[in-house]
């Protein structure tokens, strides 16, 4: 294979082979921009070197040939004593890894060629200074990166020299100083590397190339790749680039620039410039840089040329670019460019700006932003200008900014929140018993557990701010307080603020500002009234909506949630959980149902529940008028509505002979209903088949509510969903009964409201027999939370905190299958069910209602499989709409 490419041979699409830097240097070269000539050694050569410890055969000859051609072009040889060609040897992988790997400048200098360099630079004092400055930089960089000597040693020697001059600026040093420093640096090399600084230019170059290869596996590079999920085996390319000099005097300099503001997207002149400096000086902060706009006064011709080049690059890459440049005695050189990183806000603005400039299409604009970025823009945030006292830092588990009184139990959270007081639930770690408190709280703070802990996973699902694993905090739940480093004690009722985007925990109240993007989605702020960002979001959402094939529905149980979801763009309800309607005061009625000993008692209990249910459904139908509302019949095991077994046992035992007959009967019932594994027990369709009249009551409530809405002029569209079906026979039995009731209600009300009857697919058996189940189901909704649990055999509440952290570390999965749908396993079942369901019943409606409905990658999967809709929590709806659009462009 060919291991070396001249800059004139590559192009920007060869990043795999030439790395990002090399590919873009080639692209700029071919655009006719002023790039110092050079060549790139491929990542393939690097991979060979890393595998075998030696460079591949033929590489040396290829480098010889390219170096000879370069010397020919430049009219001087590498390190030629009287007029040396100098080069930089630069790392550059496919993905940018800022500052992670190595670069060595000024290769080719030695005791001879430094004199030649001074002579060709003009031979005066300034030229002498420049040449020796360049030489000491080479020894310094070479010593540090190639020979592995502690960089501090060189820095200290440099500082000492400056101190001796009574200055802290390198500008105070003259040629003699740098000459002395070269001597000192060489001495450091001798002492710490056990060898002389190599004076042979070609040896310098070859050693530097190997050092760049090796830097791929430097500790910090390995760590960075792991964090950024960059594959470990790509390797880096090496760019050998003719040196140009920004340190030749005040008419020279070096700088960095963006073609527009990476924080806002605004077009303008953004960057920094430093006169009489080389390479990293700009970002290293050795002297104060000047804003790029000042360059206009310093060197108007170079400035104008730079602006013209930046415009050209933007037009060419059709995106924001960042660049590195150097000016050598009034001559501009381009040293690097790439499509630049940007904030979430800038991503939206830039995408619309580029559409307006005619550079990209609306489809491309949709593709250039992500649901994750949109989610970021929707969270409230702490006012950046406000004072704050940080007391700890944990993991940024679920973004947002929350302020409230610290509380240490779920009950307290519910109690205070009920009085309208915002609270932060603080726990060592949370478990399912804390759910009510988590719902009530503004935010959740734990001292244990990682990003897949119960707290983190549930909080993300609810869109609630969460900081987890703040290990510096000593949480004492009994004493209702925690202690932070430095002896700070926070007791129940004290105000704290937590930042779920950074993991910071603050004492007291930090002011929070609302996201205007949410105000816009809520309809409180029109696009026209909004700022540039809101307008950009509005436009991109419009484009995404026009493009997407997937409908987006909401998981919502209350009219308020439904109304909010609708404002966010929901096209119906994909999952209304009816069990929430049995809590609170209605618990009593459920207890009566469970305790009923005769058919009559049971019917009385159901009759009492029915009107309440009917009212619930009327509220939902009104909020979603004209749109489908999928109502899932009761799913959880009944004992979830009864008192806790231990609590009740204690109560009965303490009361002794005075225990009420009702409590005794309750205790008996709780014992009877107790299950080893409720998740796989008496729940879902099984309840409907075992407890006579329960599903019938719910179906009647749905049908009557729909009839009432219709009579009032509304357009209710109920869909009745049966949970946890594993066999078509289960569904058939329930369906038969439901059809009978629908007919009865039609007769009794004189109103015919068609209601579809369908099922959730959340057991592997249901997926595998979907062809049969479709005989009795008018729609499928994939309940991917349970389907993930039952496919993997994971009990979500137990495994996430127990061992998911370890699994993630081991790479068994890259992300929790509860967060992003497992395409290979769970996804395969979905494919099978979708395909076989459609074969039986063409046109069967297919949706998904697990948490995955709002997860970007899972939305793309649903699009690919051809589902009709995704359903997710109201807050995730904009994200799902955007991702559904992105999946379609
Ligand atoms: P990084 O990837 O860390 O930015 P670079 O390879 O881009 O490393 O180089 C480090 C610094 O040296 C940059 O400021 C770059 O512009 C400068 N530099 C690299 N090669 C040359 C060269 N041939 N002439 C002048 N400056 C150079
Ligand atoms: Mg660079
Ligand atoms: Mg389920």
Both tokens of 188, joined, read 């450091």
Task: Indicate if the pLDDT at residue 454 is higher than 90.
Answer: no
**pLDDT, tens digit (0-9, with 9 covering 90-100), for 379-415:** 888 988 899 999 999 988 888 899 999 999 999 999 9
CB contact at 8 A, 595 and 652: no
Question: How many Å apart are CA 566 and CA 512, to the nearest integer?
Answer: 26
Report the greatest alpha carbon distance in the chain. 111
DSSP string, 599-613: HHHHHHHHHHHHHHH
Question: What φ, ψ does residue 491 adopt, rounded to 5°?
Answer: -100, 165
Helix (H) or strand (E) holding 275: strand 267-275
| Residue to mutate (ligand 1; options 88, 92, 98, 224; most atoms within 8 A of CB) | 88
**Is 48 annotated as catalytic?**
no
Cβ-based burial of 128 (10 A; exposed 0-12, middle 13-18, buried ≥19) = buried
275, β-bridge pairs: 253
Q: What digits encode the pLDDT tens for the residues 801-818?
A: 678 777 876 778 878 899
Q: Which residues are annotated as a binding site for Mg(2+)?
A: 762, 786
Residues 6+ apart with CB under 8 A from 393: 470, 472, 502, 503, 504, 505
pLDDT at 227: 58
User: Phi first, then psi: what are they for 222, rounded to 5°?
Assistant: -60, -45
Any idea what DSSP says for residue 509?
P
Are 630 and 554 spatial neighbours (Cβ–Cβ below 8 Å)? no
Ligand 1 centre to CA of 244 (Å) is 10
- In angstroms, the CA 156 to CA 162 distance is 10
Q: How far does residue 99's CA lie from ligand 1's centre (Å)?
A: 11
Q: Which two tokens stand for residue 766?
A: 């249901």
- Ligand nearest 759 Cα, by number? 3
Is the separation of the CB atoms in 486 and 463 below 8 Å? no
Which residues are paired to 219 by β-bridges?
none
Residue 666 scores a pLDDT above 90: no
Angle, helices 694-711/728-749, rounded to nearest 10 degrees: 40
Separation of alpha carbons 215 and 224, rounded Å: 12
CA 691 from chain centre, in angstroms, equals: 45
Ligand 1 in reach of 97 Cβ (< 6 A) = no
CATH 3.20.20.60 intervals, the chain: 548-637+675-888
Residue 768 is predicted with a pLDDT of 98
Domain with CATH 3.50.30.10 in the chain: 380-514
* Residue the block writes with tokens 């790479």: 811
Phi, psi at 739, each rounded to 5°: -60, -40
Q: Rounded to an integer, what distance in angstroms lies between the CA atom of residue 811 and that of residue 327?
A: 47
Q: What is the CATH number of domain 548-637+675-888?
A: 3.20.20.60
**What confidence score (pLDDT) does residue 657 get?**
87
Whole-angstrom Cα distance, residue 275 to residue 650? Answer: 80
Any ligand 1 atom below 6 A from CB of 243:
yes
Q: Quote the CA–CA distance of 346 and 353 in Å, as a whole number.
A: 10
282, pLDDT greater than 70: yes
Write the CA distances from 267 to 189, 258, 390, integer angstroms.
47, 9, 35
Ligand lying closest to the C-alpha of residue 636: 3
How far apart, in whole angstroms, are the C-alpha atoms of residue 203 and residue 186? 16
Tokens of 659: 């225990």
* Residue 193: band (very low, low, confident or very high) from pLDDT cuts 50, 70, 90: very high
Instruction: Decide: 292 and 346 in contact? Cβ < 8 Å.
Output: no
pLDDT of residue 228: 66
Q: Which of 24, 35, 90 to mutate to test the pocket of ligand 1 (most atoms within 8 A of CB)?
A: 90
pLDDT of residue 381: 84
Q: What is the pLDDT of residues 705-722, one digit of tens each?
A: 999 999 999 999 999 999
pLDDT tens by residue, 336-361: 999 988 878 889 999 999 999 999 99
Q: What is the mean pLDDT of residues 605-617?
A: 94
Residue nearest to atom 1 of ligand 1 (CA): 99
Say if residues 443 and 463 touch (Cβ distance below 8 Å): no
| Share above pLDDT 90 across residues of the chain, in percent, rounded to a whole number | 76
530 CB-near residues (< 8 Å, 6+ apart): 516, 519, 520, 538
- Number of C-beta neighbours around residue 284 at 10 A: 10
Nearest alpha carbon, ligand 1 atom 11? 279
Q: Pairing mode, if any, of strands 401-407 and 551-555?
A: unpaired
Residue to substitute in 324, 325, 341 for testing ligand 1 pocket (most ligand atoms within 8 angstroms of CB): 324
8-12, 104-108, 848-852, range with the lowest pLDDT: 848-852
Residue 165 CA, chain-centre distance (Å), reads: 50
Cα 201 to ligand 3 centre (Å): 70
pLDDT per residue over 227-261, tens digit each?
566 788 899 999 999 999 999 989 999 999 999 98
Q: Could you tell me which of 572, 551, 653 has the C-alpha nearest to residue 620?
A: 572
Please answer whether residues 868 and 555 qualify as being in contact, where contact means their C-beta atoms are separated by less than 8 angstroms.
no
Nearest to 857, CA basis, from 827, 812, 834, 836: 827
* Sequence-separated contacts (24+) of 804-813 with Cβ below 8 Å: 804/452, 805/450, 805/452, 805/453, 808/452
Percent of the chain topping pLDDT 70: 98
Secondary-structure breakdown of the chain: helix, strand, coil percentages, each rounded to the nearest 5: 50, 20, 30
Place of tokens 């001249």: 6
Give, for ligand 1, the residue of 35, 84, 103 to mutate: max count of ligand atoms closer than 8 Å to Cβ: 103
Q: What angle do CA 542, 547, 553 make, to 5 degrees?
A: 75
- Pick the range with the lowest mean pLDDT from 467-471, 644-648, 849-853: 644-648
Q: Is the pLDDT of residue 452 over 70?
A: no
* Residue 578 DSSP symbol: G
For 458-478, letters b (16+ CB in 10 Å) and e give: bbbbbbbbbbbbbeebebeee
> Is the CB of residue 289 below 6 angstroms from any atom belonging to ligand 1?
no
Q: Nearest Cα to 481, choosing from 409, 419, 395, 416?
A: 409
How many Å lie between the centroid of ligand 3 and the Cα of residue 774?
18
For the stretch 681-700, pLDDT in tens is 999 999 999 999 999 999 99
| Residue 335 CB less than 6 A away from ligand 1 | yes
Please report, to the nearest 10 degrees, the dihedral formed by the alpha carbons of residues 542, 543, 548, 554 taken in order.
-30
Query: Could you give phi then psi for residue 19, rounded to 5 degrees?
Result: 75, 165
CA of 125 to the centre of ligand 3 (A): 81
Distance of CA 257 from the midpoint of ligand 1 (Å): 14
Ligand 1 pocket, 323 CB below 6 A?
no
List residues forming the annotated binding site for substrate.
577, 632, 762, 783-786
Q: Is the CB of residue 244 below 6 angstroms from any atom belonging to ligand 1?
A: yes
Q: Which of 46, 241, 849, 862 is catalytic?
A: 849
- For 453, phi and psi rounded to 5 degrees? -70, 165
- Count helices and strands in the chain by DSSP H and E runs: 36, 31
| Cα angle for residues 636, 639, 642 (degrees, 5° grid) | 120
Stretch(es) of the chain classified as CATH 3.30.470.20: 253-339
Asked if 551 contacts 868 with a C-beta cutoff of 8 angstroms, the reply is yes
580 given a catalytic annotation: no
d(CA 819, CA 855): 7
Binding site per annotation, positions: 577, 632, 762, 783-786
- Ligand sitting nearest the alpha carbon of 215: 1
Helix (H) or strand (E) holding 257: strand 253-260
Tell me the mean pLDDT in the region 646-670: 88
Q: Write down the pTM of the prediction.
A: 0.81
Does the Cβ of 70 fall within 6 Å of ligand 1?
A: no
Q: Which two tokens stand for residue 533?
A: 């960002």
**First and final C-alpha spacing in the chain:** 37
Residues of the chain with CATH 3.30.1490.20: 4-242
- Among candidate residues 163, 147, 584, 352, the one with its CA nearest the CA of residue 155: 163
Inter-residue contact 567 to 526 (CB < 8 Å): no
Does 88 contact ligand 1 (Cβ within 6 A)?
A: yes
* Residue 867 in this model has a pLDDT that exceeds 70: yes
Structure tokens at 297: 């006064």
According to CATH, the topology of domain 4-242 is Dna Ligase; domain 1 (3.30.1490)
| Mean pLDDT, residues 497-521 | 92
Catalytic residue among 48, 66, 454, 852: 454
Q: Is the pLDDT of residue 211 over 90?
A: yes
What kind of architecture, by CATH, is found in domain 253-339? 2-Layer Sandwich (3.30)
Edge-to-edge order in the sheet of strand 4-6: 4-6, 38-41, 236-242, 87-93, 103-107
Average per-residue pLDDT for the chain: 93
The CB of 280 under 6 Å from ligand 1? The reply is yes
Residues in the chain: 889
pLDDT tens string 181-192 = 999 999 999 999
Q: Near ion ligand 2, which residues have CB within 5 Å? A: 336
C-alpha–C-alpha distance, residues 423 and 658, integer Å = 39
CB atoms within 10 A of CB 133: 25
Mean predicted confidence (pLDDT) in 219-225: 77
Q: Which CATH class is domain 380-514?
A: alpha beta
Q: ipTM of this predicted complex?
A: 0.96
Tokens for 83, please give them. 């007029």
How many Cβ atoms are within 10 Å of 142's Cβ, its own excluded? 26
Give me 565's structure tokens: 């979801």
3-state secondary structure of 290: strand
156-160, 201-205, 343-347, 361-365: least confidently modelled range: 343-347
Centre of ligand 2 from the C-alpha of residue 27, in Å? 16
At 660 the pLDDT is 87
pLDDT level of residue 285 (50, 70, 90 thresholds): low
**Does an H or E element contain 178, and which?**
helix 175-193
Distance of CA 507 to the CA centre of its chain: 27
- Residues facing 36 on adjacent strands: none
């Amino acid at each position: 294979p060919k291991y070396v490419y001249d800059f004139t041979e590559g192009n920007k699409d060869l990043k795999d082979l030439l790395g990002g830097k090399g590919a873009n240097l080639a692209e700029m070269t071919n655009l006719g921009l002023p790039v110092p000539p050079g060549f790139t050694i491929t990542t393939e050569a690097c991979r060979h070197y890393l595998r075998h410890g030696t460079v591949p055969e033929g590489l040396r000859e290829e480098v010889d040939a390219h170096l000879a051609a370069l010397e020919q072009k430049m009219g001087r040889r590498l390190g030629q004593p009287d007029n040396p060609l100098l080069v930089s040897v630069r790392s550059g992988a496919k993905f940018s890894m800022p500052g992670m790997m190595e670069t060595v400048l000024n290769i080719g200098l030695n005791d001879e060629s430094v004199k030649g360099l001074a002579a060709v630079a003009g031979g005066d004092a300034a030229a002498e200074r420049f040449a020796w400055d360049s030489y000491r930089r080479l020894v310094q960089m070479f010593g540090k990166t190639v020979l592995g000597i502690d960089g501090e040693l060189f820095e200290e020697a440099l500082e000492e020299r400056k101190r001796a001059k009574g200055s802290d600026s390198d500008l105070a040093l003259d040629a003699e100083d740098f000459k002395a420093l070269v001597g000192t640096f060489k001495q450091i090399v001798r002492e710490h590397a056990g060898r002389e600084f190599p004076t042979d230019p070609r040896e310098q170059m070859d050693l530097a190339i190997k050092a760049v290869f090796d830097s791929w596996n430097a500790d910090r590079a390995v760590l960075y790749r792991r964090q950024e999920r960059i594959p470990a085996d790509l390797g880096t390319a090496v760019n050998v680039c003719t040196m140009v000099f920004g340190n030749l005097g005040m008419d020279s300099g070096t700088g960095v620039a963006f073609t527009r503001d990476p924080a806002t997207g605004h077009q303008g002149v953004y960057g920094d410039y430093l006169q009489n400096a080389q390479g990293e000086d700009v970002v290293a902060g050795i002297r104060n840089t000047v804003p790029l706009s000042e360059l206009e006064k310093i060197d108007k011709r170079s400035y104008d040329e730079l602006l013209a080049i930046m415009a050209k690059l933007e037009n060419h890459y059709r995106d924001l670019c960042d660049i590195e440049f150097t000016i050598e005695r009034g001559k501009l050189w381009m040293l690097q460019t790439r499509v630049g990183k940007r904030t979430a806000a800038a991503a939206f603005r830039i995408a619309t700006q580029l559409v307006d400039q005619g550079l990209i299409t609306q489809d491309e604009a949709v593709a250039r932003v992500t649901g994750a970025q949109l989610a970021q823009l929707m969270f409230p945030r702490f006012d950046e200008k406000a004072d704050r006292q940080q007391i700890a830092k944990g993991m940024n588990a679920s973004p947002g900014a929350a302020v409230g009184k610290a509380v240490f139990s779920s009950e307290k959270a519910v109690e205070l929140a009920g009085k309208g007081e915002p609270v932060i639930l603080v726990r060592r770690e949370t478990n399912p018993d804390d759910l009510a408190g988590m719902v009530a709280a503004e935010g959740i703070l734990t001292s244990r557990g990682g990003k897949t802990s119960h707290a983190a996973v549930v909080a993300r699902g609810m869109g609630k701010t969460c900081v987890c694993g703040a290990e510096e905090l000593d949480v004492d739940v009994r004493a209702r307080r925690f202690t932070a480093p430095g002896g700070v004690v926070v007791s129940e009722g004290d105000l704290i603020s937590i930042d779920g985007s950074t993991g910071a925990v603050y004492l007291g109240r930090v002011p929070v500002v609302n996201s205007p993007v949410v105000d816009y989605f809520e309809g409180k702020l029109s696009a026209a009234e909004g700022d540039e960002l809101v307008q950009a979001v509005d436009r991109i959402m419009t484009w995404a909506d026009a493009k997407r094939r997937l409908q987006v529905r909401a998981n919502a149980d209350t009219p308020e949630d439904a109304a909010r979801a609708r404002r966010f763009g929901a096209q119906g309800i994909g999952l209304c959980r009816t069990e929430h309607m049995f809590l609170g005061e209605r618990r009593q009625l459920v207890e009566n149902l469970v305790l009923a000993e005769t058919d009559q008692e049971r019917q009385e209990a159901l009759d009492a529940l029915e009107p309440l249910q009917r009212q619930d459904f009327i509220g939902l139908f009104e909020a979603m008028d004209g749109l489908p509302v999928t109502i899932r019949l009761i799913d959880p095991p009944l004992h979830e509505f009864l008192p806790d077994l231990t609590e009740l046992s204690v109560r009965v035992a303490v009361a002794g002979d005075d225990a009420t007959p009702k409590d005794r009967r309750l205790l008996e019932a709780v014992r009877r209903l107790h299950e080893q594994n409720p998740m796989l027990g008496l729940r879902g369709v099984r309840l409907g088949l075992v407890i006579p009249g329960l599903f019938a009551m719910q179906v009647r409530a749905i049908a009557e509510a729909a009839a009432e809405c219709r009579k009032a002029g509304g357009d209710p569209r109920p869909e009745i969903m049966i949970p946890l079906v594993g066999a078509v026979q289960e569904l058939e039995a329930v369906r038969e009964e439901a059809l009978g009731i629908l007919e009865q209600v039609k007769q009794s009300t004189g109103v015919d409201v068609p209601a579809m009857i369908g099922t959730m697919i959340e057991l592997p058996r249901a997926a595998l027999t979907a062809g049969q189940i479709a005989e009795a189901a008018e729609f499928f909704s994939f309940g991917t939370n349970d389907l993930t649990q039952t496919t993997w055999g994971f009990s979500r509440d137990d495994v996430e905190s127990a061992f998911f952290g370890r699994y993630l570390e081991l790479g068994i999965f890259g992300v929790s299958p509860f967060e992003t749908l497992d395409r290979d396993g769970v996804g395969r079942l979905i494919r099978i069910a979708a395909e076989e369901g459609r074969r039986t019943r063409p046109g069967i409606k297919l949706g998904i209602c697990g948490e995955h409905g709002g997860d970007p990658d899972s939305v793309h999967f649903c699009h690919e499989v051809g589902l009709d809709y995704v359903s997710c929590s109201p807050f995730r709806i904009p994200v799902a709409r955007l991702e559904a659009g992105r999946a379609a462009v």
